[in-house]
Amino acid sequence: MRLAVYPGSFDPITNGHIDILEKTSKIFDRIIIAVIHNVTKQALFSLDERVELIRESTGHLDNVEVDCFSGLLADYVRTKSACAIIRGLRTVSDFEYEMHMAMMNKRLVPEVDTLFAMSDSNYIFVSSSAVKEAALLGGDVSSLVPPVVVRGLKEKLCGR
């Protein structure tokens, strides 16, 4: 059983994340989307809301499930007996941070490798933070996130 963990903030999940999942779910038997519970990072969506949005947006991917974790990613992947960590790469600016994190994780949990996937060129510029910023200013983000996220953003931002 080749199990991979796809960790991230997913605040909220975007079509870029889904593109990475559609590609990598063909490579692995099972993927756990692991939502990071980071108390120091201010999120727009609560952990439960992020999990629910992911669940509703990934129903078409049979071998993909969602979970949350706090603490060290290396500990989490070890407890799950994962063989790989999935991360997405957009531009060169992602690379340096991701490379350091992959090297650190390799040192902490040598039996697990990080696999980088590139998203479709349509999603290279898509990030959760850019989507939130555009939505906050009234922009139409319906081509960048799943419909359930469009609704979630409207509900969150209408009172602001």
Is 12 a binding residue for ligand ADP by CB under 6 A? The answer is: no
As measured in angstroms, the least distance from the Cβ of 159 to ligand ADP is 24
Count of residues that interact with ligand ADP, criterion CB under 6 A: 16
128 is catalytic: yes
Is 20 a binding residue for ligand ADP by CB under 6 A? The answer is: yes
Is 146 a binding residue for ligand ADP by CB under 6 A? The answer is: no
Is 88 a binding residue for ligand ADP by CB under 6 A? The answer is: yes
Catalytic residue among 50, 87, 128, 132: 128
**Quick one: which of 85, 87, 114, 141 contacts ligand ADP (CB under 6 A)?**
87
Q: Which amino acid is at 147?
A: P
Q: Which residues are catalytic?
A: 17, 41, 90, 128
| Residue ranges in contact with ligand ADP by CB under 6 A | 8-10, 14, 16-17, 20, 87-88, 90, 94, 119, 123, 126-128
